[in-house]
Structure 1
Amino acid sequence: MTRTRARLGLAAVVLAMLTGLVAIQPSAASASSDVSPDASAGVSAGVSSTASAEEVTAASGPTWCTDKSRLVVLGDSAATGYGTTGYPADVQTYVPTENGWVAKMARNLAGFGTEVTNLAHNGALVADYLPGGRWADTTSAVAQIQQLQPSMVIVELGGNDFYIDRDPEVFARQLRQLVDSIKAAAPSSSIFLVKIWEIGQRESPRAVHTWSEYGAKMHEVAVATGAGLSDLAQYLPSPNNDTAGLYLPDRIHLNNAGNLVVHGALYTWMISC
């Protein structure tokens, strides 16, 4: 991502936050190079104020557009509130801090009567939400989705798979398994995949797989399953080129300001239909 592109993305999000009138939709001009959006397949990315009602419905799914009663979030530390003011050092799961993007979204969606359940867990891999995962709260997430029957399920995963350099083919199979499991558990739920920014460090200096490889696999899964997809790299500069001050010193996690950018990008899409 070029610095100019990052600034344009940030400007678009600021405009979206101020107006609340635009929808995150496919656009050849705004789509990032590693994920090519396709509205006909239910894939959503980029900010556009010219999207048709049909495109909005295709991207977000009929359930969410007609029923915003419940939202479930699956994710990692990018969705727990980690890194924002008030997040405890000894906690590994969701805390509704003032600036965490999920917490802020939950407060705003309350005006629509939406109940938000956040099942994100710090350090989570896609595999942790499948049978055999490391924590009971993640392995039981699909069962909770079956019980709750949410209107929308947001899946924000992949950053830790990239961090440990998991084979992208394995990542794709596991992500497809998770999405298929969610669809089987809650057939009417709209599913929305969120691809985060490229984190600024890896577990091993010998890591060989690029973030664009994981992004391409997310897009393939979204197309194959009809899920929505948003690439947050369109709105956030690289942690290694962060002149806006959106990241923590670890070059992995967002701070308060970075979380507000994510909220601005996703919330405008969430209320666009």
Structure 2
Amino acid sequence: MPAIRLAALGDSFVEGRGDPGLDGPFHGWVPRLADQLGIPRRGVLNLGVYQATTQDVVDGQLPAVLARKPPMIVVNVGVNDLVSDYDPERFRRNLGTIYSSLRGMDTTVFTASYPDIPKNLAVPDAFRSLLRDRFAEANSVLREITVATGTLCLDLTAMPGWAEARVWAADGIHPNAAGHQLFADQLTEFAARETGLVQPALLVGG
């Protein structure tokens, strides 16, 4: 069994949806990030699943990562909670479980805040307003939990590009190839800056 150096947990954003692949259904930011960090594909574990919620990550993906203990983990999940069966207490509890469980495992854990996806959706204004309130609340909860657990959180609401239509697929929910590349680029730079490394690949022993 090859050593896993990068693991990604989450939903269809992690899966790579919106970015068609040449050797599979999707490409996405995970292999792009691995390439930039000098991590061979055999050292990458991508657990992203379409429509996964925070509960799905807690129940299925988290145990798999805890068993492998990779040196770098990226988590992106929560949008499906926010746009469907939203339970604020369950959302907070699940995020707390995910990030506290990964803490102290001799690994570096990254995540990112939720961009303004409601802006892209063809929904009534009242529902868009409701979704934006949920996304704002979710970002507040995420900031609180990541600070408490030492998780490194890339704030996409403050990063350039995410308000532009050019980075989104036609459904407005998933990034397109340009969006997945943008996220890989921004996360690589963020990892280098926050960990004090000149070469991001050193983060995972590359």
**Partner residue in 1 for 2:33:** 105
The equivalent of 1:269 in structure 2 is 190
Partner of 1:126: 54
Partner in structure 1 of residue 110 of structure 2: 192
Structure 1 unaligned residues grouped into runs of 5+: 1-68, 89-93, 132-138
Conserved? CA contact 1:158–1:195, under 8 Å: no
Contact (CA 8 Å) 2:34, 2:40: kept in 1 or not?
A: no
1: CA distance between counterparts of 2:35 and 2:191? 13
Would you tell me which structure has more helix in proportion to its own residues? Answer: 2
Who is 2:8 aligned against?
A: 73
Counting only pairs closer than 5 Å after superposition, residues 153-168 of structure 1 correspond to structure 2 as 153-164=73-84, 166-168=86-88
In terms of Rg, which structure is larger?
1
C-alpha displacement at 1:114, in angstroms? 8.8
Aligned to 1:236: 161
What is the number of equivalent residue pairs in this alignment? Answer: 185
Residue 82 of structure 1 aligns with which residue? 17
Kept in 2, the 8 Å contact 1:168–1:217? The answer is no
Change beyond 3 A, Cα 1:86–1:112? closer
CA shift at 1:198, angstroms?
A: 2.1
1:205 counterpart letter in structure 2: F
Contact 2:156 2:162 in 1 (8 A): no
1:179 paired with 2:99, answer: yes
Note if contact 1:195-1:229 (Cα within 8 Å) is conserved in structure 2: yes
One-letter identity of the residue aligned with 2:21: G
Aligned AA (2:110) = F
Q: Deviations over 1:35-63 (max 9, x none)?
A: xxxxxxxxxxxxxxxxxxxxxxxxxxxxx
CA distance in 2, matches of 1:172, 1:87: 37
Return the offset for 1:224.
1.5
Q: Return the TM-score normalized by structure 1.
A: 0.59
CA contact (8 A) 1:83 1:256 kept: yes
**What amino acid does structure 2 have at the position aligned with 1:173?**
R
Runs of 4+ in 1 over 6 A off after TM superposition: none
1:235–1:261 contact (8 Å) kept in structure 2:
no
Sort the Cα spacing of 1:265 and 1:178 in 2 relative to 1 into closer, same or farther, 3 A. Answer: same
Flag the 1:231–1:168 CA change in 2: closer, same or farther, 3 A: farther
Who is 1:150 aligned against?
70
RMSD over aligned CA atoms reads 3.0
> Conserved in 2, the CA contact under 8 Å of 1:152 and 1:189?
yes
1:21 alignment partner in structure 2? none
Structure 2: where are the runs of 5+ without partners?
198-206
TM-score of the two chains, using structure 2 as the length reference:
0.76
Aligned to 1:65: none
- Give the aligned residue type for 2:11: D
Secondary structure, counterpart of 1:84 in structure 2 = coil
In structure 1, the partner of 2:144 is 220
Aligned residue in 2 for 1:205:
127
- For residues 210 and 232 of structure 1, the distance between their equivalents in structure 2, rounded to whole angstroms, comes to 16
Q: Distance in 2 between matches of 1:178 and 1:111?
A: 24
**Native 8 Å contact 1:80 1:95 kept in 2:** no
